[in-house]
Chains A and B, each alone.
Chain A
Amino acid sequence: MTAHRLLFLLPLLIFGTLAVWFAEGLGRDPHLVPSALIDKPVPSFALPALPGYAHGLTSADLATGEPQMLNVFASWCVPCRAEQPVLLRLAREQGVALRGLASRDKPEDAAAWLATAGNPFRSVGADVDNRVAIDFGVYGAPESFIIDGEGRIRYKHIGPLTPEDVRQTILPVLAQLKRH
């Protein structure tokens, strides 16, 4: 076969390459959009506390020298309910510093939810109008941000955390940040 003849295989080759490429793309979850804020400092904010709690949440609380995880939740958010046991174990068994952002939620509803489900957070900010969540580029609760000691966002997890997520990403990322 001459080179001239082989040229007829070219369209097939191009088609095959594109088909594999697109098939790979079909398997991806379009909601897992990478954060634009990775390695950037947390936005500056100061949020009031939930009723019955002493502390709210400010950007200074997220730059205390120790890596922390900020969890965006709401009492109306169903996947957050699935995630809650994972968060509680993370705080109680692994000693991870968790902070909460009660996104688009009535402060009293968020407080009632934490009272029934258990509170894994060191402090929670009441983000009633969702403005701080927007500054963090949040699409929808639940989302979790890992923040280093200097208050820079280093990792973002979209959707509820599973025990596998914790084992495979959250704990390794936190351990790596602690070492530095």
Chain B
Amino acid sequence: MSIRAVLLITLIVLGQAGWCPLARAVLPDEMLSNPLLEARARTISQDLRCLVCQNQSIDDSNAPLARDLRVLVRERLKAGDSDEAVVAYVTARYGDFARLNPPFQANTWLLWLGPLAVVLVGGGGTVWWLRSRAGAGALGAASQSLSAEEQSRLAEVLGRKG
């Protein structure tokens, strides 16, 4: 195999994995003929949790329930529902857990703001600690310079190495 063929195959494989989201679990018979609606359905289903496998979206999952929900999403879209209405339709039955991207609301503020709080507390603590250390260093500057004995020992070690 020539190097060119290898490169071409690598590019194709990487291309599909990276920026070309091909149909995954979605079967051709589920797809809508209207490409605009189908694109909306794909976007919505990528944010809906497959409740059987839990960490896959319904767009990814081969579970029968995921298929049912994909078909349902497309039916709601065909009936003229907005994207929000479709998601609301699913969460009315399965709860907010069905959303892979949880909304910011009363019971999720800790989830969203928690990491920020950890960074602020940790970062603030680090700054405070470094400052207090620098302050202590300025006060005890004398202790940072070497004594005569240490100087001669240092010269000896450096001299031996050099």
Contact = CB atoms under 8 A, between A and B. Distances in A.
A61 interface: no
Interface in B76-120: 91-97
B54 A31 contact: yes
B69 A134 contact: yes
A31 B68 CA distance: 19
User: Size range of the interface on B?
Assistant: 10 to 19
Given A30-B54, A33-B97, A134-B72, A139 B65 contact: yes
Contacts of B92: 36
User: Among the interface residues A30, A37, A134, which one has the most CB atoms of the partner chain B within 10 A?
Assistant: A134
B14 interface: no
A27 interface: no
Contacts of B52: 139-140
A169 interface: no
Interface in A122-140: 129-131, 134-137, 139-140
B37 interface: no
Given A134-B69, A140-B65, A36 B51 contact: no
Contacts of B68: 129-131, 134
A86 B121 CA distance: 53
Interface string A134-149: 1111011000000000
B65 A36 contact: no
B64 A137 contact: no
A95 interface: no
A136 B92 CA distance: 10
B69 to A, nearest CB: 7
Nearest to A11: B125
Interface residues of A, number: 17
A99 interface: no
B54 A35 contact: no
Given A31-B54, A130-B65, A130-B68, A137 B97 contact: no
Given A30-B54, A33-B51, A137 B95 contact: yes
Contacts of B72: 134
B118 to A, nearest CB: 9
A134 B93 contact: yes
A139 B95 contact: no
B80 to A, nearest CB: 19
A104 interface: yes
A147 B161 CA distance: 86
A29 to B, nearest CB: 11
Nearest to B118: A14
5 contacts: A30-B54, A33-B95, A36-B91, A135-B93, A137-B94
Given A33-B51, A36-B91, A136-B93, 8 more contacts: A31-B54, A35-B95, A36-B92, A129-B68, A134-B68, A134-B72, A137-B94, A137-B95
